[in-house]
Structure 1
Amino acid sequence: MSTTKTQEMPGHAGMSLSARADALEHQMIEALDRKIVRSVLFTSGDRDPTAPIMPPPGGKPDPRHFLMGDDPRLQKMPERPTLLDFFKHRFAPANHLLQSATHALKAGHDEKTILACLLHDISVSGFIRADHGYWGAQLLAPYVDEEVSWAIRYHQALRFFPDASVGYDYPEAYIRYFGGDYEPEPYVKADWEYARNHKWYMTSRLITLNDIYSFDPNAQVSWDPFIDIIGRHFKQPKEGLGFDGSPSAHMWRTIIWPTKFL
């Protein structure tokens, strides 16, 4: 029996897996004909954003131009991208979202609720994880019914608070994730108090209810049941997402070009 030995990158012996990944990314960037600089938001924590940026080793300026368009490491986006194009070329695998929407569909909920379940974690999938309900709602607001974006916004807060009337308990997973003594921030509690008395409360609550049962890695799901629902309830701009001048067009462009210098 023959075995294949993974070749070590020069100078990387003994490095942690995370350090190797960072080194490989740096090596890939160096191989490009454009300089790539990641936004502060996406490096904070890995480095202190207030720390000075040191000049490159050797003190010689990099003669390459900064990247101002497509990142060749990413899949090419269509000229007029649709929602499904983003799921295909930019977002993480949608198994969880499809499971959530499938639960809502099988439960007989209306199409706006199904769409809200399908898109509730869109920011986690392709943009920003922190406060993802708020970011996702803002990203989608120009293209969906106000009830849908409202529900996505407030599921961020509602998921931390049980509702016995629909059988929603505080998720056991949150105890594992955050600890048994975790308390949501005051703004989260304030939004829960506001949302629980709102006319669209139940739409948002149903997102949380269908959310907690949608983490089966072996579930077989498909986009097919939701294509027509998207067609009826998502206002796809003819210019393509990111190029229609909407209040969130810049957010879609950032997802298309996440490493664009300016």
Structure 2
Amino acid sequence: MSAAAAASIAGATTLSAKADALEEAMSDELDKRIATPWMCSIDPTPEPIPGDNRPWYQHNDPRLPQMPAEPTMRDFFKLRFAPANHVLQSAACARANGMDEKVVLACLLHDICVSNLIRTDHGYWCAQMVRPYVDEEIAWAIEAHQALRFFPDNSVGYEYPETYIRYFGADYKVEPYIEEAYQTAKNHRWYMTGRLITLNDLYSFEEGVMVDIDNFEDIIGRHWSHPYGGLGFDGSPVAHMWRSIIWPNNFL
């Protein structure tokens, strides 16, 4: 793990923030071993394009693949989320374990904002991003996994992650809002959908395993409602979130 990643984890002030920082670091380390991730931050251009003296590339950044006019979920995975090994492995793990297609799609989408938009409270952010386009059970489960990952469930073999103990200490306690979210979720009719995300999430950091988004074309087709105009341009309450990933280096 890089010094920057370690510093990010150490500098987080709450257990949830530390857990989010750790998950991002693990995902980034996995991706870096396979491919260099895209730069998605608002900074002056570190490597100027010859002849172009702009300090920021507003909208179409020549260092990033240009997105199509009406981008689909596949386009985001190919051109912005790539390589996204963790969520792809998670979805593949869920499918190999015979999970319902809703669980597979939830695993595919549960962390898409972590390295591409925001990591803090990422379960809530990811759920918000996808809610207009999926069954409510899927969005609910993605949101619930934010809290459920901190609590074991022996009925499915989910244990509190050892990495959390190693990085955060054995005496850490979750914040009250996480505890409240867990208590609500464990009595919810969709509890197991959220729980299965955590189960297939925990064991999906395997090096050298490559999974392609096209492997899930059938599941996406059945359970994802592609909006008219494309993601980011459909006028939905979350369109701006998708545009922020299309143009991640916009100054304003």
TM-score by length of 2: 0.78
Query: What RMSD in Å do the two structures reach over aligned CA positions?
Result: 2.2
**Superposition deviation, residue 178 in structure 1:** 1.8
2:250 is aligned with 1:260: yes
Structure 2 counterpart of 1:34: 54
Structure 1 counterpart of 2:27: none
CA distance in 1, matches of 2:231, 2:91: 22
CA distance in 2, matches of 1:257, 1:169: 38
Structure 1 counterpart of 2:150: 160
Change (3 A) 1:256 1:126: same
CA distance in 1, matches of 2:125, 2:46: 32
CA distance in 2, matches of 1:30, 1:72: 8
CA distance in 2, matches of 1:256, 1:87: 11
Large movers: runs of 4+ above 4 Å: 24-27
**Superposition deviation, residue 224 in structure 1:** 3.8
Contact 1:92 1:126 in 2 (8 A): no
2:200 is aligned with 1:249: no
Structure 2 counterpart of 1:82: 72
Higher relative contact order (CA 8 A, sep 6+): 2
Contact 2:116 2:245 in 1 (8 A): yes
Aligned length, in residue pairs: 211
1:69 is aligned with what amino acid?
Answer: H
1:216 is aligned with what amino acid?
Answer: E
1:221-257 residue CA offsets vs partner (Å, 9 max, x unmatched): 3334311100111111131100000110010011111
2:223 is aligned with what amino acid?
Answer: H
Match of 1:150 among 140, 153, 177: 140
Q: Secondary structure at the match of 1:192?
A: helix
Q: Secondary structure at the match of 2:179?
A: helix
CA distance in 2, matches of 1:27, 1:80: 29
CA distance in 1, matches of 2:62, 2:140: 36
Structure 2 counterpart of 1:104: 94
Change (3 A) 1:35 1:216: same
Change (3 A) 1:220 1:93: closer
1:132 is aligned with what amino acid?
Answer: H
Contact 1:93 1:125 in 2 (8 A): no
Q: Secondary structure at the match of 2:47?
A: helix
Structure 2 counterpart of 1:222: 212
Structure 2 counterpart of 1:53: none
**Superposition deviation, residue 183 in structure 1:** 1.5
CA distance in 2, matches of 1:222, 1:28: 29
1:188 is aligned with what amino acid?
Answer: I
Change (3 A) 1:27 1:219: closer
Structure 2 counterpart of 1:181: 171
**Superposition deviation, residue 78 in structure 1:** 1.0
CA distance in 2, matches of 1:27, 1:213: 35
1:139-158 residue CA offsets vs partner (Å, 9 max, x unmatched): 10111110001100110100
CA distance in 2, matches of 1:27, 1:170: 40
**Superposition deviation, residue 80 in structure 1:** 0.9
Unaligned runs of 5+ in 1: 1-23, 37-66
Structure 2 counterpart of 1:204: 194
CA distance in 2, matches of 1:121, 1:222: 16
1:16-55 alignment, distance < 5 Å: 27-28=46-47, 32-36=52-56
CA distance in 1, matches of 2:220, 2:120: 26
